[in-house]
A and B are shown apart, each in its own frame.
Chain A
Amino acid sequence: MIKLKVNRKEYTVDINPETPLLWVLRENLGLTGTKFGCGMALCGACTVHLDGEAVRSCVTPVARAEGKEITTIEGLSLDSGHPLQQAWIAEDVPQCGYCMSGQIMSAAVLLRENPRPADADIDAAMAGNICRCGAYQRIRRAIHLAARIQGQGGGR
């Protein structure tokens, strides 16, 4: 039995401790906002926060997450009000949208640690997240916008 705290809720799951956190979130807890893309920490689609850090849940054995705060896209904000979500909507970033949970979770760490990121910071934070639709230019734009929203206290 493994105890998990996901999006401020406690769960107990009976699972092989080597199972990647990704599949526990998706299959056992029904939190399918976190996506499977590569299974090798190469694409970032599965990015979630583990004690605030942007881990790749596809290579994170669930045992590592025990006793830690896990946040997924579903728990990032109450009503899509995170500055990044607002900015993503304002810039119409997503195309197929599949990578966007991971993109936003990565960007959230960036914005927390650097409230006014320069382009080089965005490159340093976001290059672990592949977008096959090529929305990179809009992702960059939306992060800059989100920084402004956050700076004005506009997050929910």
Chain B
Amino acid sequence: MEKTDVSSQVLTQLAVKIMLVIAALCLGALAPSTWAADDRDDAGARAAFLKAYPVFMHPRCLNCHPAGDAPLQGDDSLPHAQNVQRGPEGRGRYALKCANCHQAANLPGENLPPGNPKWHMPPPGMRMVFQGKSPGDLCKQLKDPAQNGGMTLEELIDHVSHDKLVLWGWDPGNGRSKPPSHVEFVDHLRTWVKKGAACPE
């Protein structure tokens, strides 16, 4: 099946890239043994992905990964009130660029604009939609370098582990709800990758 082919292809690429990553970036966290292909367990991978899935669907994560071209806001994920648009670079448009209000840090006070130095949405060329995606579709999208910004799976793990904007989800500022545990989220994704990164149906 094509799916399997893609997975194995990805895994083959992984082996090469892992060496490069270790050499170039000295990333000790991801030991080569973690990625051994003989750990493959499709059912286990799917189960792990399903455990991580609610985080992607949490408003703190989903709101900037909408199906349309407007960011969402609030726990009810309504379109951003000021008709804010994704814009050509995922940074808003004209007088409504994200960083005009969303600054380097969360502003203190309820409902004031949260902030992060990297505050943005996926650009139009790499939309990385979460909203409305089934676990299977989301999984495929995350794994597809053409859709995920050319990331390998370990880069993906690194991204969700360390990216400051991802981490903002767990430090969203006054009164905002947080997604389930970040540590467990990363663990689930690691397990998913370790077991071969199969996608749920």
Contact = CB atoms under 8 A, between A and B. Distances in A.
Interface of A: 40-42, 44, 47, 53-56, 59-61, 64, 105-107, 109-110, 113-114, 121, 123-129
B94 A114 contact: yes
Nearest to A106: B95
Given A124-B85, A127-B83, A64 B95 contact: no
A90 to B, nearest CB: 21
B95 A109 contact: yes
Contacts of B95: 44, 47, 54, 105-107, 109-110, 125-126, 128-129
A56 B96 CA distance: 10
B100 interface: yes
Contacts of B99: 53
Interface string B34-56: 00000000000000000000000
9 contacts: A40-B112, A41-B101, A41-B112, A59-B107, A59-B112, A60-B103, A64-B104, A114-B94, A123-B83
A125 B107 contact: no
Nearest to B97: A53
A121 B93 CA distance: 9
Given A127-B82, A128-B82, A40 B94 contact: no
Nearest to B112: A40
Contacts of A129: 95
Given A113-B94, A126-B95, A59 B101 contact: yes
A54 B93 contact: no
Nearest to B107: A59
Contacts of B179: none
Closest A-B pairs by Cβ, 4 of them: A127-B83, A106-B95, A125-B94, A54-B95
A85 to B, nearest CB: 16
A61 B109 CA distance: 14
B85 A53 contact: no
Contacts of B101: 41, 55-56, 59
A64 to B, nearest CB: 6
Contacts of B100: 53-56
B113 interface: yes
Given A53-B99, A60-B103, A42 B93 contact: no
B12 interface: no
A55 B81 CA distance: 16
B80 to A, nearest CB: 9
A41 B96 contact: no
A47 B101 CA distance: 10
A54 to B, nearest CB: 4
A114 B93 CA distance: 10
Interface string B91-124: 0011111011101100101011100000000000
Contact of B81 (A42, A56, A106): A42
A125 B111 contact: no
Interface in B24-77: none
B96 A127 contact: yes
A56 B93 CA distance: 15
Contacts of A61: 103
Given A40-B109, A109-B94, 15 more contacts: A41-B101, A41-B112, A42-B82, A44-B95, A47-B95, A53-B100, A56-B101, A106-B95, A107-B95, A109-B95, A125-B96, A126-B95, A127-B84, A128-B82, A128-B95
